[in-house]
Amino acid sequence: MLKMESVSKSYNHRSGTVTALDDANVQIDQGEYVSVVGPSGSGKSTLLLAMGGMLSPTSGKVLFNELSIYDLSPDRRARLRRENIGFVFQTFNLVPYLTAQENVQVPLFLASVGEAEQVERAADLLGRVGLADRLHHKPSELSVGEQQRVALARVLANDPKVILADEPTGNLDPETSAQIIEFFDDLNREGRTIVMVTHDPHAAERAKRVMRLVGGAIQADEAASTRSMPSIGNVG
């Protein structure tokens, strides 16, 4: 499904060239759950952004279902992301002047979904993440954990096949972090492919495969120990 072939990313600074990603070769099959770990500055976020069509590599190829993402026009690449890939960020990136429901409606509006369906679908998704009573609250009126759940509902609006998450529990307390990770477990059980960058060992161990980056290079890529995870309903 997702493949990186000899992907490198370098930046030029006054002090010289900095290599953020060094000859990465990765294959992620449909339905996998992968955590990406490593020290700060090791290239984890760069790998995730390049994999999701958000950051052009200096060299190498990134493929989605054998289609070379960066050989597409910007418009076609944006459409591929919109229709197939959902991003979850540590900072949530909610629109501050929109309500929770309106934030979830944004990707549906961009996909030209009718307004009545936008409203219904956004309400359903917010209910799924335990926010049925927060539809008309703006981000400033929500807790940090509730904001992350709005962001998750928004990610699901276009029913993505792949979810790329960059430190999704980084700003959350332990209890809320556990709720969010349980939600990721459910999404993977539904058949979605998940790639999650994390510093949290408890989050990382929930994945079925762990990839470790050091200095922009993949140092290890191996299956995690299997474990039984209980199914959940709504995240409350």
pLDDT tens profile 203-213 = 898 899 999 99
pTM: 0.89
Exposure string (b/e) for 110-122, b if CB count within 10 Å is 16 or more?
Answer: eeebeeeebbebb
Per DSSP, the three-state class of 198 is coil
- Residue 83 confidence (pLDDT) above 50: yes
pLDDT band (50, 70, 90) for residue 234: very low
CA distance 180 to 149: 8
The number of CA neighbours under 13 Å toward the Cβ of 26 is: 35
Task: State the Cα–Cα distance between residues 106 and 95, nearest whole angstrom.
Answer: 9
* pLDDT digit string, tens, across residues 2-57: 999 999 999 888 778 889 999 999 999 999 999 999 998 899 999 999 999 999 99
DSSP state of 156: H
Binning pLDDT at 50, 70 and 90, where does residue 109 land? very high
How far is it, in rounded angstroms, from Cα 162 to Cα 195? 8
Domains of the chain: 30-54+75-223 (3.40.50.300)
The C-alpha angle 27, 187, 173, rounded to 5 degrees, equals: 105
Q: How far is the C-alpha of 231 from the C-alpha of 236, rounded, in Å?
A: 14
Amino acid present at 52? G
Tokens linked to 68: 């070379």
Q: How far is CA 41 from CA 21, 24, 199, 212, 213, in A?
A: 10, 16, 12, 12, 9
User: To which residue do tokens 């990406």 refer?
Assistant: 36
